[in-house]
Amino acid sequence: MGSTNIMRTLGTKWGIIVQVIDILKGFVPVMLFANLIGSNWGMCGEDSFLNLPILGIIVGMSAIAGHVWSCFVKFKGGKGVNTAAGMLIAILPIEFGVGIFVFVLTVGISGYVSLASMLASSTIPLVLFLRYNLFRVDIKGYFTLIYFTLGFLLLVLFTHRSNIARLISGTENKFEKWRFLKCACSKKKAYKIE
């Protein structure tokens, strides 16, 4: 059960606690591997862990898989977005920051957490692509990272299949209390002109 469902059933306080735990599930293993195991394997300087993104991806994806297909809840866990967020904070902090901005903006306008998760996940490979190809930023392991972020996007879309169906049918749940950018036009009443 993900943090969004916990917020709906147990309240905001418990939802935030679960969200922080889910984010840490992705962040802590990646950073522990980088700082403890990576340094013990002589992965310092030019060959440091953070310059070897494939290792961070493997560690992070293991945490995500453990969250999405948890053996503790009959292999039916959460959607993995918060756990992936923790991993992305460690591996791609700039791209993640832009993704968070898109997430907050989408929830603020629409109230749909699922839509915000999918759009934020779409933003990450786009920002990575633009930084490398348009702004010519030297990103170690770029091709590994771009393939990973595209694969991650597909995983997010796959785990949100039921949400996509509900968005299309107009039955997806909203978080109205999170909508801080409600469109002024939605509050106006339609007046009949005679």
Determine what percent of the chain is predicted with pLDDT higher than 70.
84
Q: Please, where are the H alpha helices in 33-141?
A: 38-40, 53-68, 81-91, 93-110, 113-133
pLDDT, position 180: 84
Quote the tokens at residue 191.
């007046």
Q: Tell me: pLDDT of 192 over 50.
A: no
**What is residue 68's predicted lDDT score, i.e. its pLDDT?**
86
**3-state SS record for 161-180:** HHHHHHHHHCCCCCCHHHCC
In the predicted structure, residue 52 carries a pLDDT above the cut 50: yes
Predicted local distance difference test score (pLDDT) of residue 190: 46
**DSSP letter (8 states) at residue 190:** P
- pLDDT, tens digit, 9 for 90 and up, residues 114-159: 999 999 999 999 999 999 999 999 998 899 999 999 998 998 899 8
pLDDT-derived band at 81, boundaries 50, 70, 90? confident
Q: What angle do CA 13, 106, 187 make, to 5 degrees?
A: 95
- In this predicted structure, the answer to whether residue 48 has a pLDDT above a threshold of 80 is no
pTM of the entire structure?
0.79
Question: In angstroms, how far is CA 23 from the centroid of its own chain?
Answer: 9
Q: Which tokens is 103 given?
A: 């997430």
- Over 90: is that where the pLDDT of 83 sits? yes
Inter-axis angle of helices 53-68 and 142-159, to 10 degrees?
10
User: What pLDDT does residue 95 have?
Assistant: 97
Q: How much is the pLDDT for 40?
A: 56
Return mean pLDDT, the chain: 85
Between vectors from CA 147 to CA 63 and to CA 74, what angle results, nearest 5°? Answer: 30
The more confidently predicted of residues 104 and 193 is 104
pLDDT tens sequence across 15-46: 999 999 999 999 999 988 876 765 555 554 55
Give pairs for 137-141: CB < 8 Å, separation 24+.
Answer: 140/50, 140/51, 140/53, 141/51, 141/52, 141/53, 141/54
pLDDT of 194 higher than 80: no
